[in-house]
């Protein structure tokens, strides 16, 4: 992983702003998220979180996550913003997806962009890796961070293994490389 600086960081914030606009369309009652996928300065896919096909019959935002069987790994009812952005890119720009960069943002209660935590969603990390997305971008306290998607997937699987923030020390070591 690496943090962006200068013009590269400025450009990343432009795409984060685009993802923020996309996130404002999210209909999830728990969290508003947005993603854009970029290839050579072109947005090739975008998505926000909401129930499948925005069907109210599929909404389960108010269900307790404890009510699901332990084999239900994704306890949200919504299609994730990253998943929807990947599907959008596959429909509209399938030949441009390989080697692209995915930007993700979550909105706070005031619909402003919120800094991200560590990589943790294995559903999205696996899908991004399988689709050929090269990099995954999150905005952290230290700045805009770009992860190689293979690293992002590995960190997602390691999340929480040794208690809260288990991957943070290894991430910080990588940043110093």
Q: In this predicted structure, what is the pLDDT of residue 120?
A: 87
Q: In terms of pTM, does the model score above 0.85?
A: no
User: Looking at the domain 2-175, which fold is it?
Assistant: Cytidine Deaminase; domain 2 (3.40.140)
| Number of continuous H segments (helices) and E segments (strands) in the chain | 5, 7
- Per the CB < 8 A criterion, the answer to whether 131 and 158 are in contact is no
Q: What is the C-alpha to C-alpha distance for residues 55 and 51, in angstroms, rounded to an integer? A: 6
119: phi then psi, degrees, rounded to nearest 5: -60, 135
| Domain residue limits, the chain | 2-175
Task: Concatenate the DSSP letters of all residues of 52-111 into one string.
Answer: GGG-GGG--TTS-GGGS-TT-----SSBPHHHHHHHHHHHH-GGG-TT-EEEEEEE-TTS
How confident is the prediction along the chain (177 residues), in pLDDT tens digits per residue? Answer: 999 999 999 999 999 999 999 999 998 877 899 999 999 999 999 999 988 766 565 545 555 556 544 544 554 658 899 999 999 999 999 999 999 999 999 999 999 999 998 898 889 999 999 999 999 999 999 999 999 999 999 999 898 775 444 443 333 323 332
CA 44 to chain centre: 15
- Per the CB < 8 A criterion, the answer to whether 50 and 87 are in contact is no
- What letter does residue 118 receive in the DSSP assignment? S
């Amino acid at each position: 992983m690496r943090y962006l600086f200068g013009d590269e960081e400025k450009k990343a914030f432009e795409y984060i702003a685009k993802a923020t606009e996309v996130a404002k369309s999210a209909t999830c009652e728990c969290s508003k998220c947005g993603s854009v996928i970029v290839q050579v300065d072109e947005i090739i896919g975008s998505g926000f979180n909401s129930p499948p096909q925005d069907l109210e019959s599929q909404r389960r935002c108010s269900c307790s996550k404890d009510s699901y069987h332990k084999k239900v790994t994704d306890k949200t009812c919504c299609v994730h913003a990253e998943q929807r952005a990947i599907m959008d890119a596959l429909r509209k720009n399938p030949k441009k997806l390989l080697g692209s960069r995915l930007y993700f943002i979550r909105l706070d209660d005031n619909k402003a962009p919120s800094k991200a935590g560590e990589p943790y969603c294995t559903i999205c990390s696996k899908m991004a890796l399988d689709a050929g997305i090269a990099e995954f971008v999150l905005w952290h306290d230290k700045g805009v961070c770009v992860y190689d998607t293979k690293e992002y997937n590995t960190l997602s699987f390691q999340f929480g293994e040794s208690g809260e923030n288990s991957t943070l020390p290894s991430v910080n070591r990588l940043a110093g490389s």
